[in-house]
């Protein structure tokens, strides 16, 4: 559940500071608020990446590097780079990687303007950070640019709550209970009020799949995870 740069400088600064403020309690809160299910969601992403047997991987909006670390642990031969615009998050990620003796390169960077040449990576992942982009299509276009032909994009994201009874329950939890719990534990309630707002404004899974196609991706597929709480989208560069 990571961060990525916004298009508006003012908004970018606000969001960057907000995630930086909760960095120290970020991993603990993720585990508590997702009941540990986020580990299963990331495993799905790692499996989707491994299907392509990549050599070079970029994890955008890497946050505290949970997905980047899992990718490296899945295959020691992977060259994994993670980028995020919140340096306090990256600092924690570096400590986690070092503690596990994992060679994961973590850099501060803008997800809408990646500092890499065209066709640099075999795979690109982003876990719960795309919703923080001011322009989702521009982000997808940038991902397409830095991927090599045949490269794979894997997106984990929270779609808007599904319809039905469970969706109603989850919407209530998301809008009322989660901000209170997150704010109480972290002392930064604003960050956990931002989370549900960003999710409710995010495109539905089928719309996101269409946007991926418009960016040039092919063989697009998606799967809802845990009754639609999370979703994984996979696409390949032509």
Mean pLDDT for 169-180 is 82
**Residue 139 near residue 178, CB atoms below 8 Å:** no
Evaluate if residue 2 carries a pLDDT over 50.
no
Q: Which CATH number fits domain 9-160+203-237: 2.60.120.10, 3.20.20.70, 3.40.50.720, 3.40.50.150?
A: 3.40.50.150
User: What percent of the chain shows pLDDT beyond 90?
Assistant: 63
**Residue 228 near residue 159, CB atoms below 8 Å:** yes
What whole-number distance in Å separates Cα of residue 87 and Cα of residue 93? 10
In the numeric block, the tokens 């009754």 are attached to 227
pLDDT, tens digit, 9 for 90 and up, residues 79-98: 999 999 989 999 999 999 99
What whole-number distance in Å separates Cα of residue 128 and Cα of residue 3? 8
* β pairing state of 56-60 and 79-84: parallel
pLDDT, tens digit, 9 for 90 and up, residues 120-141: 999 999 999 999 898 999 999 9
Provide the residue ranges of all domains of the chain, joining segments of one domain with +.
9-160+203-237
Q: Which residues contact 66 (CB under 8 A, 6 or more apart)?
A: 27, 30, 38, 42, 93, 127
Dihedral pair phi/psi, residue 222, rounded to 5°: -145, 155
Task: Please give the pLDDT value at position 193.
Answer: 76
**Residue 194 near residue 33, CB atoms below 8 Å:** no
- pTM score: 0.88
Tokens for 159, please give them: 């779609």
């Amino acid at each position: 559940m990571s961060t990525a740069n916004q298009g508006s400088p003012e908004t970018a600064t606000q969001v960057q500071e907000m995630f930086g403020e909760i960095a120290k309690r970020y991993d603990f809160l993720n585990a508590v608020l997702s009941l540990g299910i986020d580990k299963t969601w990331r495993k799905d992403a790692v499996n989707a990446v491994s299907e392509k047997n990549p050599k070079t991987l970029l994890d955008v909006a890497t946050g505290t590097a949970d997905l980047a670390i899992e990718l490296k642990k899945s295959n020691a031969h992977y060259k994994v780079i993670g980028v995020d615009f919140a340096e306090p998050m990256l600092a924690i990620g570096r400590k986690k990687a070092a503690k596990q003796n994992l060679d994961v390169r973590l850099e501060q960077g803008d997800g809408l303007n990646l500092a890499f040449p065209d066709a640099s990576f075999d795979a690109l992942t982003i876990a719960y950070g795309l919703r923080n982009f001011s322009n989702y299509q521009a982000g997808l276009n940038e991902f397409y640019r830095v991927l090599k032909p045949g490269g794979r994009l894997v997106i984990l994201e929270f779609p808007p709550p599904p319809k039905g009874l469970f969706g109603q329950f989850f919407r209530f939890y998301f809008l009322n209970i989660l901000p209170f719990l997150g704010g109480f534990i972290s002392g930064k309630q604003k960050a956990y009020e931002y989370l549900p707002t960003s999710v409710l404004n995010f495109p539905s899974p089928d719309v996101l799949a269409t946007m991926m196609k418009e960016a040039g991706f092919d063989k697009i597929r998606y799967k809802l995870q845990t009754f639609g709480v999370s979703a994984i989208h996979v696409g390949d560069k032509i």
